[in-house]
Amino acid sequence: MPDSTGKDASGPDGIWYFSIGPSTEDLRENNELDQGDVEPDYRCTMTIHEATGSLVSGAGHINLIDNVTWTPGNRLLEFRRVRLDSWQWHRGTIVHGIYVGRLAQVGGDGSKPDISRYQAFASGWNSTYLDTDIVPRVYEVLIGDDSHGRLRLDRESPGAKSYAGRLKIYHGPDGDGSGLVDQLFAGEEFEYDIDVLSWNGAYLEFVKHGDTPGTYDSIVERYRAVAVGRLLVGTVDIAGSQPATRRWKAARAEVLTHGLTPRPDGDLQAWQSQTREQIEHILMAGNPSPAVAEPPELGKPGKPLKELLWPMATELYPQGRDDEPDSHPATYSLTKLTFNLEIGNPYVPGTTKRRFKAYLAMPSGDPDNPPKSRFPAVIALNGHHGSAWTCMCPCATLYWYGDGFARRGYAVLAVNVGHRTNSEFYDNSDPYADDNTSAGDYDCSDRQDGDGPDNHPVAPITVPGMGPSDWADDGERVWNVLQAYEWLRQQPYIEAERIIVTGLSLGGRIATYAGALEPRLAAVLPAGFSPDLGLRHNLGRNDTGHRCNFWDRADIREYIDTSDLHALVAPRTLIVQTGKKDHTYSTFRPHIGNHTVAAYFACDKQVARRTRAAYAHSPGSFIHYLHYDEHRYHVGVVAPAEPGSQRFVQRPVMVEPPAAEPWRVDWQADPQTVDDEKTLFDYLT
């Protein structure tokens, strides 16, 4: 672990759990629990001591590791894997026990190849360095051959010798999740608090109690397992009219997790500092500073919004917009910005260009004629089929919130959140071509140079001759936002200590990442993104081919979950919006009593409960805004003319099981809310 100064003390020695890419393809989903009793060959256990080591593949093949070299200055590890008919040369960097790198397959005499041969990828984590205690622990679970789940273990309370846990099971589809039948019959369960009877790092025993009054004292399932490396293997006894015993197994997951229990304040800060560096290492090649960072190009001089819109556009507000725009005229100026940056190449001399667009709204003045006053600021991020412009367009169906904040006296920097070329949204055309393509009711134009509703396609950050990018799609998006933030906070008309980031859907996810990785941001307001990531993995909620759901060089679910990103924001203001009718991630309809209820928000309440553990020292800084609507953004100033609409920010009444009924689960499906008669704007002032 880090020393008292926070310095990275990790190195190559220890037991590593690696994923070694079989080709140049990514390692974004390691679903090894579907492989029966044998793990796939690319999942490896590697032991290194000084200059040598050994590697055991998932299929049981044993290889020698030699030519181990470690350069602490740049944290570079190189080694050779000796196979029967070939050699594998690896080179990568280690950050706090996390390895990310490339590999080259060679024949002949096994000599070290040229750097251009390193075209495939590998990543892994050092158990010797990271596992300083037996909790917190998270496991990906498979019961029988059809029920995937997540098992979480932690201390019952800070410093306690007893343990607590939670278990959530997904009855995944029999197929690949892409067919209609697969998705209709996929099922999600509640998350259950479990009674941990024994856990010493080698043997685990826990029970699941009945979840209704009168059955709390009964044991419905008893789990036993032994730990074998990063795995658990055991049996579960299932009670009932037809008792049964089934096999179950589990693999380590979320190895960077915050856990279920509050951490002491100093420990929380140390965890946050280390985890940010680890995530940046996997997600965005270490989050390098720009090699060249010119001021952004300014578009046409800042103009009042009405001069940029077609007639009547400022009056055609979308249904459900609840910020009362008519009472706050759009008197701000709007200027288009184009950021042109360059990133140093890590393998060969030179740089890679990075270009993205944004819009800057200012309550008075413009960048060429800045005012003497200073403004709080919002970085507004669009979701799919949106753009920086749609965040500022009053008539935009989903992404109007940039305009909403600008009307309230905030400076707003709307940063374009785009997609790579050759993605599911774009063909492999000019990466900087106009994007003025139709997107139905999201469509509106800035009437300048064709910047319409869809995201600008962007070229991935690659190094010439080195094949695919080291970066994940989300890493590139977050990097853009962080560079835009750095520029914004340096402007003399901005209150640097009062910059907020917000977004809906994909924009909500990027806002969450940005807030997690940049501790100087004052507040983080994600909407339409706080799901349990297991839903996306196990139930086919969002096709696995949709690159937005994954990292590229590691399986995100092996390292973190959404609540861990939230924990990185603590103790700053975090307001997470969930729609009660939002079925983007979940279609959960549990039986409560004699009724089936729609509880699509249950997974978000589970995530929020884990988030609150990180906010134990500042509970008022985290708010779960559970509104009446679907996949939309709300501020709560007025109640729109829609069924069930409510004014003010609504918070769930039930956020955990009642103390007297610890095994109760229906709180997760309870839709009741309460408010403090405050809007989203009120909470920010």
pLDDT for position 162: 97
Number of domains in the chain: 3
Per-residue pLDDT, 180: 37
| Residue 25, C-beta contacts closer than 8 angstroms, at least 6 positions apart | none
pLDDT greater than 50 at residue 441: no
Residue 197 lies in a domain: yes
**Angle at the Cα of 398 (from 336 to 629), degrees rounded to 5?**
155
Report if residue 540 sits inside a domain: no
DSSP 163-180: EEEEEEEEE--SS-S-SH
Determine the pLDDT at residue 310: 47
Choose from 84-98, 168-182, 437-451, 527-541 the range with maximum mean pLDDT: 84-98
DSSP for 297-356 reads EE-SPPEEHHHHS-TTGGG-PPTT--S-GGGS----EEEEEEEEEEEE-SSSSSEEEEEE
**Which of 497, 528, 559 is the C-terminal boundary of a domain?**
528
Residue 657 lies in a domain: no
In this structure, what token pair is assigned to residue 418? 């785009």
* Domain shared by 109 and 190, yes or no: no
The predicted pLDDT at position 300 comes to 63
| Owning domain of residue 252 | 137-262
Residue type, 591: H
Judge whether 551 lies within some domain: no
Q: What is the pLDDT of residues 191-207, one digit of tens each?
A: 999 999 999 999 999 99
Structure tokens at 580: 């009660």
CATH number at residue 487: 3.40.50
Least confident of 18-27, 203-212, 221-230, 234-243: 18-27
Q: What is the pLDDT of residues 301-334, one digit of tens each?
A: 566 666 665 444 556 899 899 999 999 999 999 9
Q: How far apart are CA 194 and CA 221, in angstroms?
A: 10
Confidence of residue 438 (pLDDT cuts 50, 70, 90): very low
Mean pLDDT of the chain: 88
Spell out the residues 6+ positions from residue 344 whose beta carbon is closer than 8 angstroms to its own.
288, 291, 350, 351
440, pLDDT greater than 50: no
Say if residue 426 is in the same domain as residue 457: yes
Better pLDDT: 26 or 462: 462
Which of 161-165, 246-250, 453-457, 566-570 has the least mean pLDDT? 453-457
H/E element, 280: helix 265-283
Which pLDDT tens digit goes with each residue over 479-536? 999 999 999 999 999 999 999 999 999 999 999 999 999 999 999 999 999 888 888 6
The answer to pTM > 0.85 is yes
Same domain, 64 and 101: yes
Write the CB contacts of 614 (distance below 8 Å, at least 6 apart in sequence): 258, 262, 263, 268, 563, 566, 567, 570
86: in domain: yes
Residue 347 has pLDDT above 70, yes or no: yes
Residue 389 lies in a domain: yes
Per-residue pLDDT, averaged over 222-242, amounts to 95
The whole-angstrom separation of Cα 297 and Cα 293 is 11
CATH for 158:
2.40.128.30
Q: What angle do CA 160, 166, 170 make, to 5 degrees?
A: 165
Q: pLDDT tens for residues 592-618?
A: 888 899 999 999 999 999 999 999 999
Rounded CA gap, 492 and 417, in Å?
26
